[in-house]
Amino acid sequence: MNKKISIVIPVYNSSKFLHKTVQAVDEQMKKSNWNLELILVEDGSPDNSFEVIEELAKEFDYIKGIKLSRNFGHQIAVRTGLSYAAGDYIAIIDDDLQDPPSLLPRFFEQLENGYEVAYGIRKKRKEDKLKKMAYLGFYRLLSIISDTKIPLDSGDFCVMTKNVKDKMLTLKEQNPYLRGIRAWVGFKQIGLEYERSGRIEGESGYSLKKLIKIAKDGIFSFSSIPLQVISLLGNIGLIISILFTLFTIFRYFNNEIEVAGYTTSLSCSCFSALSF
């Protein structure tokens, strides 16, 4: 394969094990004889991850380090890396070796066979039961309500052509949900099952708050149902307000209301809501 390869890795709290990840990529590069650039995007990490990146860049000349000004989140870090990727084929993997670089040749082979995207489908996850159940429920809920068909149990681990990468970057979402964007842009895609490994060290940078945010971004970006529900609730509230106002006016003309100005104030509130 004579294509230039770009691998994008978002980095967060990874200073203790990042060298292992880079070593695994380097070993696979030598086996596969890749023309490689490795893009490490430090996402405002509180540890010394970027200093480690700088040291690694001295040892491996194909490393490109990017430091974000603060913690913007995994998805924006990946998108930033994609914007710097100059390869013909681009891969996205995590920094903790849960998505092993040794799987990449199998994925790149699909691009050589005419596919534009090959994404991983997690057959098994070595994570705690609560997190497994949360992921399982979210992916199936999103699959049901999404206006775009997003493959079940697929993550950000994937390879794509430069053409797909360029199309994804045209979407300037403030809170991107990249696996949804990847599905939305279309092109010929294939999913490959794999067993996701456990983390090589430490704990996931995904806190419960961050996981909920990504779930929210996915649901609100790729389903019209939340907007429809909000609109429905607003219309129901408006109808109730109008009916209550009419009922109050009826009581007023039947001399059942003794408080001066009550009916007028309520009617004005109703018409204000209508004009809004």
Residue tagged 């109008």 (tokens):
242
Q: 136 and 30 share a domain? A: yes
What is the CATH number for 71? Answer: 3.90.550.10
Nearest partner of 64 among 4, 121, 151, judged by Cα: 4
Q: 190 and 245 share a domain? A: no
**To which H or E segment does residue 194 belong?**
strand 189-196
Task: Count structural domains, the chain.
Answer: 2
CB atoms within 10 A of CB 225: 13
Q: 61 and 95 share a domain? A: yes
> Helix or strand or coil: residue 107?
helix
Q: 196 and 166 share a domain? A: yes
- Domain carrying residue 206: 4-221
CA 254 remoteness from chain centre: 59
Q: CB under 8 Å to 132, separation ≥6 — which residues?
A: 125
pLDDT at 176: 82
Q: CB under 8 Å to 171, separation ≥6 — which residues?
A: 181, 184, 185
Task: Take residue 252 and report the two structure tokens written for it.
Answer: 């007023």
pLDDT at 183: 86
Amino acid of residue 273: A
Which residues make beta-bridge pairs with 225? Answer: none
Q: 128 and 214 share a domain? A: yes
Is 121:192 a contact under the CB 8 Å cutoff? yes
pLDDT at 122: 81
Q: What is the DSSP letter of 65?
A: E
- Judge if pTM exceeds 0.85: no
Q: 211 and 246 share a domain? A: no
Q: 79 and 50 share a domain? A: yes
CB atoms within 10 A of CB 170: 8
pLDDT at 143: 62
Q: What is the DSSP letter of 177?
A: -
pLDDT at 241: 73
- Domain stops at, among 221, 240, 259: 221
Q: 260 and 179 share a domain? A: no
Q: 109 and 239 share a domain? A: no
Q: 253 and 156 share a domain? A: no
pLDDT at 8: 97
CA 94 remoteness from chain centre: 13
**pLDDT per residue rounded down to tens, the chain (276 residues):** 688 999 999 999 999 999 999 999 999 999 999 999 999 999 999 999 999 999 999 999 999 999 999 999 888 999 999 999 999 999 999 998 888 899 999 999 999 999 999 999 887 655 566 666 666 666 566 566 666 676 667 788 999 999 999 999 998 878 888 888 888 888 999 999 888 776 666 555 555 566 666 555 655 565 556 666 677 677 777 777 777 777 776 766 666 655 555 556 655 666 555 555
pLDDT at 21: 93
CA distance 18 to 74: 16
Task: Take residue 53 and report the two structure tokens written for it.
Answer: 């990146």
Provide the phi-psi class of 147: left if phi over 0, else alpha when psi is between -120 and 50, else beta: alpha
CA distance 65 to 63: 6
pLDDT at 173: 79
Is 117:187 a contact under the CB 8 Å cutoff? yes
pLDDT at 164: 95
Instruction: Supply the mean pLDDT for the chain.
Output: 80
Amino acid of residue 100: P
Q: 138 and 235 share a domain? A: no
Q: 77 and 116 share a domain? A: yes
